[in-house]
């Protein structure tokens, strides 16, 4: 009976210690597609005002590179999607990003096609393990569904990681497996004591 119990506990510990092996669902913003039926009637370009400061999002305790769904939201810089148009709703206005000045870090890249925003932001994804600092300027052009393009606006993407942990060290998370293993050791120790 003791062997069966011990094997069951070991199986539970091994199963609980295993890391989640599910693959991430890649976050891929929708490509912006021009609607040919609107080209004949819409000749007004979208308006792109000055762009507010970008937002930086770090996935908690993660090094995901543009993954979401099962794996979180990823690490990204969000450029506010502030363009307006007379016929295209704000969430359907596309954005074209191109490097205006500076250097983009190796594990950070601009979208290669015109994209639509996600939740009001045009996202530039990066790998948190390898990209800690950046400073470059992006040219942003808004594109409506008819293909009309706004005047370009510039936005500076800048972040410097000094290595200081403002929020403190990463939390150590004891999983169910470790707790079961610790309980097994305590139980074994108590049985052997006279």
Q: Is 167 within the bounds of a domain?
A: no
Q: Is residue 170 part of a domain?
A: no
pLDDT of residue 165: 42
Residues 40 and 130 in one domain: yes
- What is the pLDDT confidence band of residue 41, given thresholds at 50, 70 and 90? very high
Strand partners, 101: 137
Same domain, 9 and 34: no
Q: Label residue 67 exposed, middle or buried (CB < 10 Å: 0-12, 13-18, 19+).
A: buried
The residue-averaged pLDDT of 100-127 equals: 93
Least confident piece of the model among 49-53, 54-58, 79-83: 54-58
- Tell me if 79 sits within 8 A of 87, measured CB to CB: no
- Interstrand relation of 25-26 and 134-143 (parallel, antiparallel or unpaired): unpaired
Is 180 part of any domain?
yes
In a domain? residue 185: yes
CA 19 to CA 42: how far, in whole Å?
52
Portion of the chain with pLDDT greater than 90, in percent: 51
Looking at the structure, tell me whether residues 12 and 52 fall in a common domain. no
- Can you list the alpha helix ranges (DSSP code H) found in 41-174? none
Is pLDDT above 90 for 64? no
- Identify which of 64, 139, 148 has the alpha carbon closest to the alpha carbon of residue 104: 139
Residue 40 is part of a domain; what is its CATH number?
A: 2.60.40.10
What pTM was computed for the model? Answer: 0.66
Q: Each residue of 167-190: pLDDT tens digit?
A: 433 444 556 666 667 677 777 766
Q: How far apart are CA 188 and CA 165, in angstroms?
A: 40
pLDDT score, position 111: 92
Same-domain check for residues 73 and 92? yes
With respect to residue 101, please indicate whether it lies within any of the assigned structural domains.
yes
Clarify whether residues 132 and 190 are in a common domain.
no
Q: What is the pLDDT of residue 175?
A: 61
For residue 68, pLDDT over 80 is answered with no
**Domain count across the chain:** 2
What's the whole-number mean pLDDT along residues 94-116?
Answer: 94
Whether residue 191 is contained in a domain is answered as yes
State the sign of the Cα–Cα–Cα–Cα dihedral 105, 57, 118, 86. negative
Given its phi and psi angles, is residue 74 left (phi above 0), alpha (psi -120 to 50 degrees) or beta? left
By residue range, what is the domain housing residue 5?
1-17+175-194
In a domain, 169, yes or no: no
Shared domain for 101 and 36, answered yes or no, is yes
111 belongs to a structural domain: yes
């Amino acid at each position: 009976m003791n062997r069966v119990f011990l094997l069951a506990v070991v199986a539970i510990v091994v199963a609980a210690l295993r890391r989640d092996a599910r693959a991430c669902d890649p976050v891929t913003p929708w490509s912006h597609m021009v609607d040919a039926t609107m080209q004949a009637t819409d000749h007004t370009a979208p308006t792109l005002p000055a762009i507010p400061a970008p937002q930086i999002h770090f996935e908690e305790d993660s090094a995901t590179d543009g993954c979401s769904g099962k794996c979180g939201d990823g690490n990204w810089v969000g450029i506010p999607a502030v363009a307006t148009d007379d016929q295209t709703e704000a969430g359907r206005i596309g954005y074209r990003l191109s490097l205006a000045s500076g250097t983009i870090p190796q594990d950070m890249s601009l979208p290669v096609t015109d994209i639509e925003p996600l939740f009001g932001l045009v996202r530039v994804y990066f790998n948190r393990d390898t990209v800690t600092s950046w400073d470059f300027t992006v040219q942003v052009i808004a594109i409506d569904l008819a293909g009309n393009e706004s005047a370009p606006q510039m936005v500076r993407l800048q972040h410097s990681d000094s290595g200081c942990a403002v929020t403190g060290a990463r939390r150590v998370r004891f999983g169910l497996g470790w707790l079961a293993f610790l309980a097994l050791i305590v139980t074994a120790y108590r049985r052997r004591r006279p």
